[in-house]
Chain A
Amino acid sequence: AQKVTQAQTEISVVEKEDVTLDCVYETRDTTYYLFWYKQPPSGELVFLIRRNSFDEQNEISGRYSWNFQKSTSSFNFTITASQVVDSAVYFCALSEAYTGRRALTFGSGTRLQVQP
């Protein structure tokens, strides 16, 4: 069965600090997809990134970057020079490409608080 673990329940940083959110996953499938979502205080989840299991290149989007390492089954998310607006709960998620279960498995989330 697939599983996503976000061991960090809550992280608090001061504005402009860099912060890394950890995500470790388990799957038996060789083809799968990994996601990160952001849940701001308003509650609605916002899609950040999708990565397939065959693409291990790191990705950078502005202050956000993602480090996918298949060898350690990790898909970590780094925010550089954090800002107060980054305060939210961040979820990592996994989907297996060829199972009949057409849904994402989410981790328990990491609450990030960025203090001014």
Chain B
Amino acid sequence: SQTIHQWPATLVQPVGSPLSLECTVEGTSNPNLYWYRQAAGRGLQLLFYSVGIGQISSEVPQNLSASRPQDRQFILSSKKLLLSDSGFYLCAWSVRAVRTNEKLFFGSGTQLSVL
């Protein structure tokens, strides 16, 4: 069966520090991978998605970046965190398909607090 791992679960970082969140998927090949952010009391905002190694699509211009060094690994990074980067970050995967009708499977999330 497929599983998705996301870590760390919680993170407290000072403003201006770097960030690296990692997500890995097991039990499937060639997944689509996604990073979403959920600000406190708000909905889910798509940050990045990837349909293959090295292929990253950015939805929102910001100081965050994403990379996919391996087929089932998705990394969210920042060189210098801002207060506004605080939120709940969710990684997700879906079966790669021509049509966007495949359901998403989510990780357990990372609660990031930038102080």
- State yes or no: do A and B come from one complex: yes
Interface on chain B toward A: helix, strand, loop, or mixed SS?
A: strand
The count of chain B contact residues (Cβ–Cβ below 8 Å) is 26
Q: Give which listed residue, A96, A98, A103, A107, contacts B49 with CB less than 8 A.
A: A103
Per-residue B-contact encoding for A29-53, CB less than 8 Å = 1, 0 else: 0000101010000111111001010
Q: Specify which chain B residues have a CB less than 8 angstroms from the CB of A6 in the assembled complex.
A: 43
Which bracket fits the contact residues of A? 20 to 34
Q: Specify which chain B residues have a CB less than 8 angstroms from the CB of A7 in the assembled complex.
A: none
B:76-115 near A, CB below 8 Å: 88, 90, 92, 99-101, 103-109, 111
A47 and B34 in contact (CB under 8 A), knowing A102-B51, A103-B46?
A: no
Does A104 make an interface contact (CB < 8 A)? yes
Q: Which residues of A contact B (CB under 8 A)?
A: 6, 33, 35, 37, 42-47, 50, 52, 91, 95-99, 101-109
Q: Which residues of B contact A (CB under 8 A)?
A: 32, 34, 36, 42-46, 49, 51, 57, 59, 88, 90, 92, 99-101, 103-109, 111
